[in-house]
């Protein structure tokens, strides 16, 4: 009986090949570079210990970090309404990328509004207290997601991505480089703040607006010096966007959009390169015409993310018809306009602090860098 047992055990431990050893019912694969005279790995370790070691190793793998399939970033924890979305097959989307896509970037599924509660819980418990680099290149800020800090910085980062203000231009890049693009392509007009309204503001700390307002004056001219614009029928006309440049609000990228549709109706709206929840903190007043004939309205600034349906729903724009604009026109000039921008002071300070969070721009009395290099 003992002889049979020894024979059976000897056969079980027979070497199958140079890199494979059979030990009972367990197959052990030798790793490359392991010498033959090394002891055979012990199989006596407890399953709980092996499982813990493997789990710790897997948790450190970058491949296990949940990432949005569109922007390839970890979904950001926000102070309110933190959500991680997924398609019906489990591919993730962050809430920032959801408005930009109509289907899953991986499987093209159109059912992409399901919440991933497991991933939300995992990010909040395992990832939000770890530093993350700002997703906007080449920003060097590294911030924790705790309290929505990282998401808040990225909302106001000077390197945040945006497309050109001109609908006919396909340029996409960061806002820091947008001014250079405009200078080269001439696809947007500049409107610098009136000097008289900038006096006594040079010594203010960055982002502190106080009671000050930003006033812009300009004239809208006939396109291509063609006074026959009122005779154009069944043609939609879009004027070049007018970017409002002033120290203290440059990072908001406020601009005026003017268009005339085929029925002779003029639409004038004031927008900014901010998310809708931030744009509502900026008030604007638009005065059109002269002392004799004029139109005006006061509203909150629209966001560049607001589509036409939302713009009509909010009603934050002014509408004129051809007959009204004709009364304002003179020679090659369609009309004069004055635009007043007044951001909420608390919002302006907070926005500046968040834009500078984790970066080298932290000196309180340092002039706010204006990307246009203009004397503003």
CB 212 within 8 A of CB 202: no
Residue 365 lies in a domain: no
Residue 5 in any domain: the answer is no
Per the structure, the complete domain to which residue 309 belongs is given by 162-356
Q: Based on the domain organization, do 313 and 221 belong to the same domain? A: yes
CATH number at residue 186: 2.60.210.10
Q: What is the pLDDT of residues 187-205, one digit of tens each?
A: 999 888 875 455 445 554 4
* Tokens standing for residue 118: 């497991």
Question: How does pLDDT run along the chain (376 residues), one tens digit per residue?
Answer: 566 666 665 555 544 444 444 444 444 444 444 444 444 444 455 555 545 555 454 444 445 789 999 999 999 999 888 999 999 999 999 998 998 899 999 999 999 999 999 999 999 999 999 999 999 989 989 999 999 999 999 999 999 988 899 988 999 988 888 888 988 888 999 888 875 455 445 554 444 444 578 999 999 988 776 677 887 777 788 899 999 988 888 899 999 999 998 888 999 999 999 999 999 999 999 999 988 888 999 999 999 999 888 888 888 899 999 999 999 998 889 999 999 999 998 999 899 999 988 764 433 333 344 443 333 2
Cα 165 to Cα 112, 186, 237: the distances in Å are 29, 11, 15
String of b and e for 102-139 (b: at least 16 CB within 10 Å)?
eebbeeeeeebeeebeebbeebeeebbeeebebbbeeb
- From CA 97, how far away is CA 279, in angstroms rounded? 19
Burial of 267 (0-12, 13-18, 19+ CB in 10 A): middle
Are 165 and 175 within 8 A, CB to CB? no
Do 129 and 167 lie in a common domain? Answer: no
Question: Do residues 261 and 352 both lie within one domain?
Answer: yes
Residue 46 domain-assigned (yes or no) = no
Do 197 and 319 reside in the same domain of the chain? yes
pLDDT at 286: 94
Q: How many domains, the chain?
A: 2
375 lies in a domain?
Answer: no
In a domain, residue 232? The reply is: yes
Q: Round to whole Å and give the CA distance between 325 and 347.
A: 36
Contact (Cβ atoms closer than 8 angstroms) between residue 265 and residue 319? yes
Query: Looking at residue 102, which CATH number applies to its domain?
Result: 3.30.40
- pLDDT tens digits for range 275-297: 999 999 999 999 999 888 889 99
State the DSSP code for 124: I
249 and 331 inside one domain: yes
């Amino acid at each position: 009986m003992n002889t049979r047992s020894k024979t059976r055990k000897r056969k079980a431990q027979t070497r199958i090949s140079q890199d494979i050893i059979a030990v009972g019912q367990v197959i052990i694969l030798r790793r490359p570079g392991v010498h033959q005279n090394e002891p055979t790995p012990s199989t006596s370790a407890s399953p709980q210990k092996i499982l813990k070691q493997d789990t710790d190793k897997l948790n450190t793998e970058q491949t296990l970090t949940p990432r949005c399939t569109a922007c390839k970033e970890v979904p950001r924890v926000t102070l309110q309404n933190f959500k991680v979305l997924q398609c019906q097959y489990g591919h993730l989307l962050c809430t920032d990328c959801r408005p930009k896509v109509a289907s899953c970037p991986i499987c093209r599924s159109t059912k992409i509004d399901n919440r991933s509660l497991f991933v939300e819980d995992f990010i909040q418990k395992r990832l939000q207290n770890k530093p993350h680099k700002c997703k906007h290149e080449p920003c060097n800020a590294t911030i924790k997601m705790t309290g929505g800090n990282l998401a808040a910085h990225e909302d106001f980062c000077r390197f945040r991505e945006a497309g050109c203000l001109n609908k006919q231009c396909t340029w996409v890049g960061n806002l820091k480089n947008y001014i250079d693009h405009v200078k080269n392509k001439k696809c947007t007009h500049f409107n610098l703040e009136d000097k008289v309204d900038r006096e006594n503001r040079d010594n203010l700390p960055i982002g502190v607006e106080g009671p000050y307002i930003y006033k812009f004056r300009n004239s809208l001219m006939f396109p291509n010096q063609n006074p026959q614009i009122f005779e154009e029928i069944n043609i939609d006309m879009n004027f070049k966007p007018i970017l409002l440049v002033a120290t203290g609000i440059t990072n908001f990228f406020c601009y005026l959009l003017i268009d005339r549709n085929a029925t002779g109706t003029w639409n004038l709206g004031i927008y900014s390169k901010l998310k809708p929840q931030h744009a509502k903190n900026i008030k604007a007043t638009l005065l059109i015409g002269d002392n004799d004939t004029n139109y005006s309205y006061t509203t909150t600034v629209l966001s560049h993310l607001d589509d036409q349906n939302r713009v009509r729903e909010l009603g934050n724009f002014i509408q004129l018809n051809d007959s009204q604009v004709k009364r304002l026109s003179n020679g090659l000039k369609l009309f004069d306009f004055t635009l007043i921008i007044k951001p909420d002071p608390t919002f302006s300070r907070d926005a500046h602090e968040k834009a500078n969070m984790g970066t080298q721009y932290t000196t309180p009395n340092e002039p706010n860098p204006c990307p246009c290099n203009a004397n503003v």
